[in-house]
Amino acid sequence: MLREIARNAEPCSASPLQAYITDRIAGRPGPAWLDGQPLERAIRVTEILGTALEFGPYVTFEDLSFSERHVADTCGWTYTPKGETGIRRAFRILEASHNPKQPPARGDKWVAFGLLLDEFQNPAQSSSLRRIFEEHIASTAES
């Protein structure tokens, strides 16, 4: 039965993130910022940014279908290989797309980041991502 399913399945090309993972495991260099992160963090940052940008800040990557996950990590890959510059760009897009009249109906800018805030509160998470976020918030508060 499993062989029949495999025979009938449509092939799916690897996402850019999946290709990066394969290359990194094989020891090939990739984008500097991502290579400077533990692999699991590089993956997670790409997934959560892509999910927030494509499906909204209150959707979790784990709740997405396989094809939606492919879309999310491909979207996240647009930003994370560019390092801090790309991640800050993603944060600006999230803030710009936030409509304070839509639920949750609060006007504060934190709402735009949704579940990303949970990632930043976890002490085990990358301090570099938290630092980028804190710098982003500080710079937007000044402007």
**pLDDT of the chain, 143 residues: tens digit per residue:** 778 876 887 777 889 999 999 999 999 999 999 999 999 999 999 999 999 999 999 999 999 999 999 999 999 999 999 999 999 999 999 988 866 555 544 456 677 888 888 877 776 656 778 888 888 888 877 65
Flag whether 27 is in a domain.
yes
CA atoms of 94 and 49, how far apart (whole Å): 9
Residue 17 resides in a domain:
yes
> H-type helices in 26-115, by residue range?
32-35, 39-55, 66-77, 83-97
Owning domain of residue 23? 13-142
Comparing CA positions, the residue from 18, 24, 37 lying closest to residue 83 is: 37
The 10 Å Cβ neighbour count of residue 82 is 17
What tokens were used for 138? 């500080």
Structure tokens at 42: 């590089």
Q: Specify the pTM.
A: 0.82
Among candidate residues 104, 100, 18, 109, the one with its CA nearest the CA of residue 66 = 18
Q: How many structural domains comprise the chain?
A: 1
